[in-house]
Amino acid sequence: LGILLLGYASARGITLPERGDEILPFLASSYLGSGVMICFTLGITAASFSNADSALTSLTTSVCTDFLGMDLEDEEQTARRRWWIHLGMCAAFALMVLFIGGIQQGSLLTTIFTAVSYTYGPLLGLYAFGLLTHYAVRDRYTPYVCLLSPFVSYALAYSCELLWGYKVGYEILLFNGLFTFTGLWLLRQPRAAKVYV
């Protein structure tokens, strides 16, 4: 769809907005007619409600069950608390959207991928370490490694741009995973000697 929209704009000599997030709404509202605009609005609304509903439900369930242990309580007793927690999750979502909207410099997708690179890097490092090695690690230090690696990755990205003018992009995910892997490697426990009988 993106290629078709860019081709359409190029063929018509349309000057597009700088941010990629604004191209489809701009073309739908200005050049493609009211039918496309109605379909676009309905589609965006349906997709947003569907995604937000499932995300809010899963987060509310996770908080109620995993953090507050409400699955062990009486159903009538927890209904009101669950409603307030759901409302709190809605407020947290709204604040998150406003926060991301305030800090984003490029497209929203770029902002989300950058944030995901910092949060999923430690998971990638943990997975790779478990898959590629058979070492046991000192478990109590593992959370510290996972929390420290995004900060080290950010320092690396900042230093690269400051010293060499290179702007680190999505590869921050790989660096983040590599720092986690290296931290776990440094925390590995020595293997016990195998005894053959």
Q: List, for residues 133-145, the tens digit of each pLDDT value.
A: 888 888 888 899 9
> Is the residue at 113 inside a domain?
yes
In a domain, 118, yes or no: yes
Structural domain includes residue 41: no
Given a cut of 70, whether residue 189 has pLDDT beyond it is yes
- Total number of domains constituting the chain: 2
Which pLDDT band, with edges at 50, 70 and 90, does 196 fall under?
Answer: low
Is it the case that residue 105 has pLDDT exceeding 70?
A: no
Q: For residues 7 and 2, what is the distance between their CA atoms, to the nearest angstrom?
A: 9
Q: What is the pLDDT of residues 37-77, one digit of tens each?
A: 888 888 888 887 777 778 888 888 888 887 777 776 667 77
Question: Is the pLDDT score of 12 beyond 60?
Answer: yes
Tokens for 112?
């989300």
Range of the domain at 115: 106-189
Q: In terms of residues, how long is the chain?
A: 197
Phi, psi (degrees; rounded to nearest 5) at 55: -65, -45
